[in-house]
Amino acid sequence: MSNLRSVTVRMQPELFEQIKTIAEKKGVTHSDVIRDLIVRGLDERIYSQNAQLLAQIVREQMEQVLHSHLQVLQPRPKYPREVDPRRLALWRKIG
């Protein structure tokens, strides 16, 4: 820890009291708590940015897979060609 640099941060009394309470519960210094909170905040930001990138990549991959199988997934028409309306009328009269 000899390569740590000093930084002065001013904060509201309420925030300082929260940090003080955390430090007392953990048995560490205020500086340790502040460093930990900063690291956790940066880690969450990096994770969030990477999660968005990963989600985009997965989405693109899924679209490629679905597109390649689109013919299989699309419902096929029940009748391959149009039915002559006269046939339908005849069927209705008989049926």
Asked whether the beta carbons of 20 and 30 are under 8 A apart, the reply is: yes
Position 57 in a domain: yes
Q: Based on the structure, what is the number of domains in the chain?
A: 1
Residue 17 lies in domain: 13-74
- What local confidence, expressed as pLDDT, does residue 63 receive? 86
Position 90 in a domain: no
Q: Which residues contact 32 (CB under 8 A, 6 or more apart)?
A: 23, 26
Q: Per-residue pLDDT tens for 14-50?
A: 999 999 999 999 999 999 999 999 999 888 888 777 8
Position 81 in a domain: no
What is the spatial distance between Cα 54 and Cα 52, in angstroms, rounded to a whole number? 5
Q: Per-residue pLDDT tens for 48-61?
A: 778 888 888 888 98
What is the spatial distance between Cα 6 and Cα 38, in angstroms, rounded to a whole number? 14
Please report, as a single letter, which amino acid is at residue 28: V
Q: Is the pTM of this model over 0.85?
A: no
